[in-house]
Structure 1
């Protein structure tokens, strides 16, 4: 059965961030992911999650200067020192929280920089990050992001991501497969996921085109979830969507899976 992790940066925003772990657990989730935890002390967040009885499975490394709209540093030539500092901070948090995965964002392509240079920088930085992350028991992940939502982002397709992972080394970096981004950019999402499953370490989803919960757009999510399960995927599926209304009101799609989880725990 698919295992779902609530993205508490986008869901349960009716309450402050530190209170969302308990809300997610009360809604039936056993795991969470989030974007950036750095405004809170790691010890506080760990205590909140332990109190809620929920585990973290993914968050992002610092993106650079967020006030200037930066979306990552890993592919940006000349920013290697900042990238290493960002990864070091993220790994401190990952160790303190017991989080196994870290999303390392490529960044927005600077004007006038050749694509080969960007991809070469990306691969070199990921190789460095993989070496440091291994000592913490953490796997760095990369995620293709569609150009519509994030114009200028360096990494856009799963084919590009697979090539980068092959260059760094299988097992050193994992693929963060987002069904939403893949549907916008490439389509054929269930077969694409099945083909890439050997390198998929974490998956996420949102309905298209609005990036809301399942049932609000064009994708047949029961079919997708059955396909993911049939393929033997044992990782988490991150609910990285923006609820169309209140978070709990939009969890009708989750009800049958929550019931199954409850039955399995009782068995």
Structure 2
């Protein structure tokens, strides 16, 4: 049976952020994820998790200057020291919140910049991150993201992400398989899940193309959930979608899985 984590960045936006933990638990979620925890003390977030019996499934390492458009710094030349400090911060939070996965965003590349240079920086930074995270029992995940939502994002395809993980060669470096992004860029999700499941560390879902509930749009999620189960995935599936109306009102799709 699939296990679902509510993404509190996108879901329950009708509540203040710290109140979203209670709302997710009330709707039957047993785990949560979100983009970033850094606006709040780790102890405060941990208290919310514990008060509502929730597991922290995932969050992202610091992404650089998010407000000014940065979307990760892992592949950016000249930012290596900043990147390593950001990983230290993420691991400090994880040690309090208890999650065993951290997502590291690759960042943006402009057309005139060298993909080879960015890729070399990316691999070296990921090798450092995997080694640092290993000491904490944490898996690092990297996510291919479509360039319609984030133009210029460095990593876009599942096969490229899997190749990077193989090249780094760390057992705790895996791919975050976001069904929404994969459908937009490549499609053929079932075949890719079968091909890559051994290298997938986290899965996320949303309806395509509007990024609403997973029962809205072009993907047959009941089929994909059954396939993910059959392939032996036992991690959390992050619900990273924007509810079309109220979050709780749109959770009819979830009831068969609670």
**Please, what TM-score do these two structures have when normalized by structure 1?**
0.95
> Could you say which residue in structure 1 is the equivalent of 2:207?
207
Matched, 1:12 2:17: no
> Could you say which residue in structure 2 is the equivalent of 1:98?
98
Matched, 1:159 2:159: yes
Between Structure 1 and Structure 2, how many residues are aligned? 258
CA distance in 2, matches of 1:159, 1:238: 21
CA distance in 2, matches of 1:13, 1:194: 34
CA distance in 1, matches of 2:222, 2:112: 44
**Alpha-carbon contact 1:174-1:199 (below 8 Å) kept:** yes
**Alpha-carbon contact 1:127-1:172 (below 8 Å) kept:** no
Q: Which residues of 2 match residues 241-256 of structure 1 at below 5 A?
A: 241-256=241-256
| Paired residue secondary structure (2:144) | coil
**Alpha-carbon contact 1:46-1:96 (below 8 Å) kept:** yes
> Could you say which residue in structure 1 is the equivalent of 2:198?
198
1:90-118: CA deviation from partner (whole Å, max 9, x where unpaired)? 11001111111000000001453211111
Aligned-pair RMSD on alpha carbons? 0.9
> Could you say which residue in structure 2 is the equivalent of 1:129?
129
1:12-38: CA deviation from partner (whole Å, max 9, x where unpaired)? 111111111111111011111110110
**Alpha-carbon contact 2:130-2:170 (below 8 Å) kept:** no
Structure 2: state its 5+ residue gaps.
none
> Could you say which residue in structure 2 is the equivalent of 1:27?
27
1:212-261: CA deviation from partner (whole Å, max 9, x where unpaired)? 10122111111111111111111111000000000001001001111xxx
> Could you say which residue in structure 1 is the equivalent of 2:224?
224
1:122-173: CA deviation from partner (whole Å, max 9, x where unpaired)? 1100000111111122111100001111110000000110111011114131
Structure 1: state its 5+ residue gaps.
259-267
**Alpha-carbon contact 1:63-1:72 (below 8 Å) kept:** yes
| Paired residue secondary structure (1:39) | coil
CA distance in 1, matches of 2:40, 2:34: 12
Instruction: State the Cα distance separating 1:119 from its structure 2 match.
Output: 0.9
**Please, what TM-score do these two structures have when normalized by structure 2?**
0.98
> Could you say which residue in structure 2 is the equivalent of 1:53?
53
CA distance in 1, matches of 2:103, 2:175: 9
| Paired residue secondary structure (2:57) | strand
1:165-190: CA deviation from partner (whole Å, max 9, x where unpaired)? 01111413111000000100010101
> Could you say which residue in structure 2 is the equivalent of 1:189?
189
Runs of 4+ in structure 1 off by over 2 angstroms are 110-113
| Paired residue secondary structure (2:191) | helix
1:70-89: CA deviation from partner (whole Å, max 9, x where unpaired)? 00000001110110111111
